[in-house]
A and B are shown apart, each in its own frame.
Chain A
Amino acid sequence: MKYSYFPGCSLKGLGRAYEESLLPVMKHLGVELVELDDWNCCGATAYMSVDEAQAAVLAARNLAIAEQTGPQDLLTPCSACYLVLNKTQHNITDFPDIKTAVHRALGTARMTYSGKTNVRHPLDVLVHDVGLDVIKEKVVRPLKGLKVAPYYGCQVVRPYSTFDDDWNPTTMDQLLATLGAEVIHYPLKTKCCGGSLTGTVPEAGLRLTYILLKEAARRGADVVATICPLCQFNLDAYHDQIERRWGPARVPTVYFTQLMGLAFGFPPRQLGLQRNFVPMKELPTERVAG
């Protein structure tokens, strides 16, 4: 199994623990990832607020490189990248003016794009291509007794996801259960974390983050599992400010790939778990015989 890999800027910066855990976990499962040649920023939500045509060109350059170099399935772990690349893919097909603009832009570098790149999320690939049975075989240290709140956030499930539900996605729930974790009922699983408003308008943005953490704590979660670097940052790095405003809600937030790595027997440091502001408690050390 081989995929092109679009890390996105966050996975090289604030979200590096996502990449640090994703790569060994995928390798362990026999999934080969080829980092997209000279990939550029997807544009995220910010560029779309400035210039829509340029935002489409930014995303399209990545889609075109993936189509050209292959494999055409492009693994995209960051939620913002996943949304923007998928959105551009749809818009190129649906709107002739965007298609024309994109083709003219790509033409300056003698590039073309015929729409063959397939933007895939790691959850989709893990559950539907690799399969939960294969993942289960690799579990050497089940996450027994670990209560996990599965938090998906917005932009993977809405509005372009093809592999799960808009409001009640379950792929990560299934995956975490396969690892032996106790997946708690978490109705806020697709509620917005506030995005970049946590930094720019904290009185509104940070409150959304606080609500997510408070609810996870109220339901007894040991840890929140996330699939998005911005969600992870918001839920992990603002506890000081949250506590000052509304009181404590100290539940650690980690990437689902970090929990997979732990269940596969990787040491926490190899999975970037030391990068958390609020660290996750160590799992019991005993291993279950193979």
Chain B
Amino acid sequence: MQIKRTIKYEADRVRGFSKEIMSVSGCEQLQSCIQCGTCSGTCPLSIYMDFSPRQVMAMVRADFKNEVLTSTTIWLCASCYACTVECPRKIRITDIMYALKQRAIQEGIYPRRFPIPVLAREFSEMVRRKGRITETLLVMRLFLKANWRAVFASWRQGLGLIRTGRFVLRHERIERRAELDAMLATVGDGKAGGKEAS
């Protein structure tokens, strides 16, 4: 039997994390959160999250970096912006979720083979290489990287896409790829996303 401590100690906090998040453009308002829970109430996915959006706001503010970055909450946010338009303190909760997702990917601490961060990474790599997304090819890459068995579960959908002429196999691409590359290089390290953790 594994014994786990159920409350957090002061030592579990990562000092400076809340400051770091609140310094991201658009995330400054977090300090004025009144913990009313409107975000959790409007969120269509909060019932699946391990921490509700309200809890995540409190945890970020209290520097619980590791707990927040490993939570399922940030990856279940579908960016519907319901919380953002309803927040009485005008906190851009969706943007804070983005700031958290970016850090989880950078630090490679998202769960291995959890498909959402893998999708985000494969997506950004395809954009960097081609300038555009070819959805069917992206989904096939995702299957290969995250869960190849899912191909068999979705074969009828794949056939349906072929039947309705929506299955595109030729890569969409832009002409001035070098131009886009040079632009992206001015703000990044040339790589999309961080390494995958085990």
- B166 near A16: Cβ-Cβ < 8 Å: yes
Q: Using Cβ atoms and an 8 Å threshold, which residues of chain B touch A107?
A: 186
Number of chain B residues close to chain A: CB under 8 A: 60
Other-chain residue from A95, A105, A154, A200 in contact with B186 (beta carbon distance below 8 A): A105
- B186 near A108: Cβ-Cβ < 8 Å: yes
- A237 near B160: Cβ-Cβ < 8 Å: yes
In the complex, what distance in Å separates the CA atom of A203 from the CA atom of B26? Answer: 31
A283 lies within 8 A of chain B by Cβ: no
B116 lies within 8 A of chain A by Cβ: yes
Other-chain residue from A83, A109, A197 in contact with B116 (beta carbon distance below 8 A): A197
Give the residue name and chain of the A residue nearest to B79 (CB).
A45
A282 lies within 8 A of chain B by Cβ: no
B32 lies within 8 A of chain A by Cβ: no
Other-chain residue from B82, B117, B121, B160 in contact with A154 (beta carbon distance below 8 A): B82
- A57 near B187: Cβ-Cβ < 8 Å: yes
Residue-wise, chain B 167-186 has the 8 Å CB interface mask toward A (1 for contact) of 01000101110011011111
Can you list 25 contacts pairing A with B, beta carbon distance less than 8 Å?
A: A12-B168, A41-B131, A41-B133, A46-B120, A47-B123, A49-B98, A50-B124, A53-B188, A54-B188, A57-B186, A61-B183, A101-B187, A105-B187, A108-B185, A109-B183, A154-B81, A154-B82, A192-B44, A192-B78, A197-B78, A208-B44, A237-B157, A237-B161, A240-B157, A241-B157
Q: Using Cβ atoms and an 8 Å threshold, which residues of chain A touch B149?
A: none
- B78 near A38: Cβ-Cβ < 8 Å: no
Give the residue name and chain of the B residue nearest to A80 (CB).
B79
A9 lies within 8 A of chain B by Cβ: yes
Q: Tell me the B residues contacting A by CB distance below 8 Å.
A: 24-26, 44-45, 48, 76, 78-82, 84-85, 94, 98-99, 101-102, 105, 115-117, 119-121, 123-124, 127, 131-136, 139, 142, 156-157, 160-161, 164-166, 168, 172, 174-176, 179-180, 182-188, 192-193
In the complex, what distance in Å separates the CA atom of A41 from the CA atom of B82? Answer: 25
Other-chain residue from B78, B98, B142 in contact with A52 (beta carbon distance below 8 A): B98
Give the residue name and chain of the A residue nearest to B81 (CB).
A158
Sort chain A's interface into a size bin. 35 or more
Other-chain residue from B24, B160, B166, B184 in contact with A57 (beta carbon distance below 8 A): B184
Residue-wise, chain A 194-211 has the 8 Å CB interface mask toward B (1 for contact) of 111101110111001000
In the complex, what distance in Å separates the CA atom of A61 from the CA atom of B183? Answer: 9
Q: Using Cβ atoms and an 8 Å threshold, which residues of chain A touch B116?
A: 196-197, 200-201
In the complex, what distance in Å separates the CA atom of A15 from the CA atom of B93? Answer: 29
- A50 near B81: Cβ-Cβ < 8 Å: no
Cβ < 8 Å to B, chain A residues 244-283: 274-277
Other-chain residue from B45, B85, B135, B187 in contact with A54 (beta carbon distance below 8 A): B187
In the complex, what distance in Å separates the CA atom of A9 from the CA atom of B165? Answer: 16
A-B interface contact total, Cβ < 8 Å: 190
Q: Using Cβ atoms and an 8 Å threshold, which residues of chain A touch B160?
A: 237, 277
A214 lies within 8 A of chain B by Cβ: no
Q: Known: A14-B161, A38-B175. Is A9-B44 also a contact (CB below 8 A)? A: no
Residue-wise, chain A 51-89 has the 8 Å CB interface mask toward B (1 for contact) of 111101110010000000000000000000001000000
Sample of 13 more A-B contacts, CB < 8 Å, known A52-B98, A54-B187, A204-B76: A9-B134, A10-B135, A38-B176, A40-B132, A43-B124, A45-B78, A51-B188, A56-B187, A105-B187, A154-B80, A155-B81, A159-B85, A275-B164
A48 lies within 8 A of chain B by Cβ: yes
Other-chain residue from B78, B131, B133, B136 in contact with A195 (beta carbon distance below 8 A): B78
Q: Using Cβ atoms and an 8 Å threshold, which residues of chain A touch B166?
A: 13-14, 16, 275
Q: Using Cβ atoms and an 8 Å threshold, which residues of chain B touch A105?
A: 183-184, 186-187
- B161 near A200: Cβ-Cβ < 8 Å: no
In the complex, what distance in Å separates the CA atom of A158 from the CA atom of B161? Answer: 30
Q: Known: A14-B161, A57-B184, A200-B119. Is A109-B179 also a contact (CB below 8 A)? A: yes
Separation in Å of the B95 CB from the closest CB of chain A? 9
A186 lies within 8 A of chain B by Cβ: no
Other-chain residue from B82, B84, B101, B157 in contact with A238 (beta carbon distance below 8 A): B157
- B127 near A41: Cβ-Cβ < 8 Å: yes
In the complex, what distance in Å separates the CA atom of A30 from the CA atom of B44? Answer: 40
A114 lies within 8 A of chain B by Cβ: no
In the complex, what distance in Å separates the CA atom of A47 from the CA atom of B126? Answer: 10
- B84 near A155: Cβ-Cβ < 8 Å: no
In the complex, what distance in Å separates the CA atom of A61 from the CA atom of B177? Answer: 12
Other-chain residue from B44, B99, B135 in contact with A13 (beta carbon distance below 8 A): B135
